Amino acid sequence: MNASRTARERVRAELTREIADTARRHLATEGAAGLSLRAVAREMGMVSSAVYRYFPSRDDLLTALIIDGYNAIGAAAEEADSACRRDDYPARWLAACRALRAWALAHPHEYALVYGSPVPGYRAPEQTIGPASRVAAVLGRIISDAQAAGVLDPPGLGVAMPREFAADVGRLRESVLPGAPDDAVARALAAWAGTFGMVSFELFGQFENVVTDRDAYYDYAVTCMGRVIGLRAGA
């Protein structure tokens, strides 16, 4: 009984995955708003109503793709980081940021689905918050490692961190930035948002007629951000 049920569930899981894969291919070519449940069903030789057995609605399909996207970009960052010498913190930072952007450029529609404007009426469910933090975890760990090694050396800016931010800093330190000082947490958060802001600007067309050599400029900008947090080359 258990075996047969798992057999049924196995084929169900397989079909679910196949639908998601087909949808992801459509997403890659047509974009999120062009993703049609009917087209996915058509390509799989099913009728549209059959797909509803696996995904209750189009939004649920999109949610699955969003989770996949978070995991993919997170995995890319993790891999890039782990390929670096552990004690070369600026190199790890640059590599992770580069991987981020490279993934975004290779999967523009998936990136837009994940980090762009949410589709109207769509509300990110709880399941997305776990995978969503993978990238932040990679970036945070680099800072934390540098801090633990005693080489974090942030330039003084003379800007006081707001008191209201103390609780958030505490939570962030526990989850993704263990051991980091308050300033580093606050600046890392801005760098996190800033890095994605740069990628989004490039991908969404704001750099058109503004930045031509985007590889070079991106490297420069994220290096600056890392430097502001305290990552220093050759330390």
Partner DNA sequence: TGATCCGGCAGAGCGGTGCTCTTGAGTTCG
Partner DNA sequence: CGAACTCAAGAGCACCGCTCTGCCGGATCA
Would you tell me which residues interact with a copy of itself (CB under 8 A)?
A: 30-34, 109, 112-113, 115-121, 124, 129, 132, 155-162, 164-165, 167-168, 171-172, 186-187, 189-190, 193-198, 200-201, 204-206, 208-213, 216-217, 219-221, 223-225, 227-228, 232-233
83 contact choice in DNA, a copy of itself, none (CB below 5 to 8 Å, kind-dependent): none
35 binds DNA, rule: CB under 7 A: yes
Burial class (CB in 10 A: 0-12, 13-18, 19+), 207: middle
Stretch that binds DNA, among 35-43, 93-101, 139-147, 182-190 (CB under 7 A): 35-43
Distance of CA 69 to the CA centre of its chain: 7
174 contact choice in DNA, a copy of itself, none (CB below 5 to 8 Å, kind-dependent): none
37 binds DNA, rule: CB under 7 A: yes
| Least distance between a copy of itself and beta carbon 178 (Å) | 16
Write down the residue that tokens 């931010």 correspond to: 165
| Least distance between DNA and beta carbon 1 (Å) | 4
Stretch that binds DNA, among 43-51, 80-88, 157-165, 204-212 (CB under 7 A): 43-51
Helix orientation angle between 89-106 and 129-148, rounded to the nearest 10 degrees: 160
Furthest CA-CA distance within the chain: 68
Phi and psi dihedrals of 92, rounded to 5? -65, -45
Counted residue by residue, the chain has a size of 235
- How many CA atoms within 13 Å lie on the side-chain side of 104? 25
CB 147 within 8 A of CB 185: no
Q: Which of 17, 25, 50, 210 is close enough to bind DNA by CB under 7 A?
A: 50
Residues of span 117-176 touching DNA by CB under 7 A: none
| Least distance between a copy of itself and beta carbon 223 (Å) | 5
Cα gap 19→87, rounded to integer Å: 43
CB 69 within 8 A of CB 25: no
Cα gap 232→82, rounded to integer Å: 19
DSSP state of 37: H
39 binds DNA, rule: CB under 7 A: yes
Within a 10 A sphere around the Cβ of 228, how many other Cβ atoms?
17
| Least distance between DNA and beta carbon 106 (Å) | 25
Stretch that binds DNA, among 8-16, 84-92, 94-102, 195-203 (CB under 7 A): 8-16
| Nearest to DNA of 58, 134 (CB atom) | 58
The contact set with DNA (CB under 7 A) reads 1, 4-5, 7-8, 12, 15, 35-39, 45-50, 52-54, 56-59
